[in-house]
Structure 1
Amino acid sequence: MTFLTDAQRTQMLANGAARARGEAIDPYPVVKLYTLDAGAAWLLVSLDADGDLAYGLTDAGIGFPELGHVSLSALAGVVGPRGLRIVADPHFTACQPLSAYTAAALRDGSIND
């Protein structure tokens, strides 16, 4: 399953390369992934050169959002309680940098965008 468009993949790889060079970046999330049946969400900003390991804000839907890495191939295999897979939100457009989403999620206990 492919979550990213070519343009999103290109932007996330560029952000990942900047992070790998040690640049202090605070990009806007590029893609939002979510479960249709479990309340989990991921706001992803960068992708490692391997094309699989993404970085961003993760929310498993249990009240403890955090920054971290996630494997896109692992997410592709996740099935929710009603048998639904994780999908990319085609209507998501970030309106603030990752740090602002993180601060709000930590305050609220979930990603609310």
Structure 2
Amino acid sequence: MILLPPDLREKLLANGADRGSDHVPLLKLFNPCGAATWLASELYEDGDTLFGLADLGFGCPEMGVFSLTEIARIRLPYGLRIERDWYFTARFGLTVYADAARIAGRITEAEALLSTAARTRQLRIPRNPEIPRNPHG
């Protein structure tokens, strides 16, 4: 199976060229035998490095970069490989999926949890630029 068809590659590359935005994930990869799931919203110029949300099934999903080549090389029992979810359609930006994943301990598509994470994110008060940032976090 082709994990990243040309049309999707172009969309992810366009998002990768505009890294300042909270892009909607366009690609969902998953382990059909386990809990590992990846949501990708950007592809870097090298054509291999994806940016998104990765959940390897240990209860601590993280945003970051991962290699398409490495994911494609994974061999699973019964001759299976990592698959692309052909029916995945994101409704929110990647940060909403990350917020919901932190609450659930895994990447989730639960509508109620994603909607709550989206509302919470919308209600956050922007930082006042007149107040200096804390250099220690």
Verify same fold: TM over 0.5.
Answer: yes
Specify which of 75, 87, 90 is matched with residue 91 of structure 1: 87
Are 1:28 and 1:95, in contact at CA under 8 Å, matched by a contact in 2?
Answer: yes
Instruction: Please show how residues 68-79 of structure 1 align to structure 2 within 5 Å.
Output: 68-79=64-75
Q: Deviations over 1:32-88 (max 9, x none)?
A: 000000110000000011100100000001101000111101101112355421010
2:26 match: 30
In the TM superposition, residue 2 of structure 1 has moved relative to its aligned partner by: 2.8
Q: CA, structure 1 residues 83+31, in 2 after alignment: closer, same or farther (shift >3 Å)?
A: same
Structural mapping, 1:1-113, within 5 Å = 2-19=2-19, 24-113=20-109
| Alignment check: 8 A CA contact 1:45 1:55 kept | yes
Measure, in 2, the Cα distance between the counterparts of 1:60 and 1:15. Answer: 24
Structure 2 SS opposite 1:107: helix
For structure 2, the residue ranges without an aligned partner over 5 or more in a row are 110-137
Residues of 1 paired with 2:38 and 2:76: CA distance? Answer: 15
Unaligned runs of 5+ in 1: none
C-alpha displacement of 1:7:
1.7
2:18 aligned counterpart, secondary structure: helix
CA-based RMSD of the aligned residues comes to 1.2
Identity of aligned residues (%): 42
Question: Rg larger in 1 or in 2?
Answer: 2
Q: In proportion to residue count, which structure has more strand? A: 1
